[in-house]
Amino acid sequence: MTAQCSFILAPSILPPLPTQAPGQVNSGMTLAFQYLATDPNGDTEIAGHGLRVYTVLGEYEMGMSAEAIADEADIPVAAVYEALAYAAENSDEMAAIAQADDAAYVGWMNGLPGPLRQAAEEGRESALRTRQEAIRKAKEARRSTPVS
């Protein structure tokens, strides 16, 4: 199955379609992606690689370049950019996946005996802080990088 993405185009960007009154907002269009597919669980992934768009987004947010992600996963750089475009257009889906992943981890963690659960909770909190700091630093670095 090919993943699809809708984009709303501002009327100032495109001339009115013949069936569209001037000034009316274009209702959008659907694009088929070359590298993305939906897995049996409903997650959007890089087709044939099992790499979720959510994972690509996470690596990029943590500071990896598109090229480094592509090299590590042995996929085309275009597939990484396509995944990032999909993630940007579907931020609600990405947030839902983050919540579901976290809920699954918390469910697993709550099944642990007391001392192990406490250690797992502390590790989770530490990992979340580390991730947030890495994301902050990556955003800062990307903002200060001159475009050549």
Tell me what the pLDDT averaged over the chain comes to. 82
18 has pLDDT over 50: no
> What is the edge-to-edge ordering of all strands in the sheet holding 44-46?
2-7, 29-38, 44-46, 51-52
The predicted pLDDT at position 98 comes to 93
pLDDT at 79: 97
- Give the pLDDT band of residue 145 (cuts 50, 70, 90): confident
Q: CA dist 12 to 22, 23, 89, Å?
A: 10, 8, 20
**What is the predicted pLDDT for the residue at 13?**
35
pLDDT digits (tens, 9 = 90+) for 52-71: 999 999 999 999 999 999 99
Residue 1 pLDDT > 70 = no
* pTM of the entire predicted model: 0.73
The whole-number average pLDDT for the span 26-31 is 51
Give the pLDDT score at 54: 97
DSSP state of 110: H
Structural element, H or E, at residue 49: none
Helix, strand, coil % (nearest 5) of the chain?
55, 15, 30
Question: Can you give the pLDDT at residue 116?
Answer: 95
Name the residue ranges covered by the structural domains of the chain: 2-144
Range of weakest confidence among 85-89, 119-123, 140-144: 140-144
Closest to 66 measured CA to CA, from 87, 48, 83? 83
- What pLDDT was estimated at residue 33? 85
Taking 80 as the threshold, does the pLDDT of residue 11 lie above it?
A: no
